[in-house]
Amino acid sequence: MKNNTPLTAFLLAAALGTLSIGAHAANPTGFYAGAGVGQSMVDEYFIDDEDTAFQVFGGYQFNPHFGLEAAYSDFGDIDLRGASGRMKADTLSLVAVGTLPFTDNFSGYAKAGVHSWDADYRNHSIVRPASADGTDPTYGLGLQYRFSDTIALRGEYSRFEMDDLDMDLAQIQIRFDF
């Protein structure tokens, strides 16, 4: 049993040291960029499906509580109800981001803005796909954990309105501050 005491002390010291790595991380100001991957979801009368989606984003943090962010999101391929076809959609968005720090490392944020989307619909019986596009509101909520002044991990849930269709996106993101 005595041999476990140094091992236990070492593991405890390592765990405390790991926690203190980001203990002095602040919410920096300036430019940032990142990427995310997650699940796009649609549950409407003619579409009920999900697919893997990704996002790349960049922004400017004016102060610890406010920033602007631009992003490109690819929602993947969504099956139309009844296996009658597929929809492929993507968007460019610009949002204002309000951040509420809970601790030095952990914060919540809300975002709202507009996005310009493009969707292509392909029906199995039609050779040529149909297209639709538009500009509509987008908004979301997220949590962020800052490992250091330059790296943060985010979890985010966003909604992208597309005319009469609501596309939801749940994702994990990594953010790099410059």
CB 113 within 8 A of CB 73: no
Query: pTM, whole model, 2 decimals?
Result: 0.79
CB 99 within 8 A of CB 67: yes
pLDDT of residue 161 exceeding 60, the answer is: yes
pLDDT digits (tens, 9 = 90+) for 83-137: 677 888 999 999 999 999 999 999 999 999 999 999 888 776 665 667 888 999 9
82 CA to centre of own chain: 29
Report the amino acid identity of residue 6: P
Distance CA 75, CA 138 (A): 14
pLDDT digits (tens, 9 = 90+) for 24-63: 456 678 999 999 999 999 887 767 678 899 999 999 999 9
In this prediction, residue 164 carries a pLDDT of 83
Q: Which contacts qualify for 42-46: CB closer than 8 Å, 24 or more apart? A: 42/78, 42/87, 42/165, 42/166, 42/167, 42/168, 44/164, 44/165, 44/166, 45/81, 46/80, 46/81
In this prediction, residue 85 carries a pLDDT of 77
pLDDT of residue 157 exceeding 50, the answer is: yes
Query: Residue 23: pLDDT band by 50, 70, 90 thresholds?
Result: very low
In this prediction, residue 123 carries a pLDDT of 75
In this prediction, residue 27 carries a pLDDT of 67
What the chain holds in terms of domains, given with CATH numbers, is 4-177 (2.40.160.20)
Structure tokens at 110: 């809300």
Mean pLDDT of 68-92: 86
Name the residue among 44, 132, 120, 40 with its Cα closest to residue 82: 44
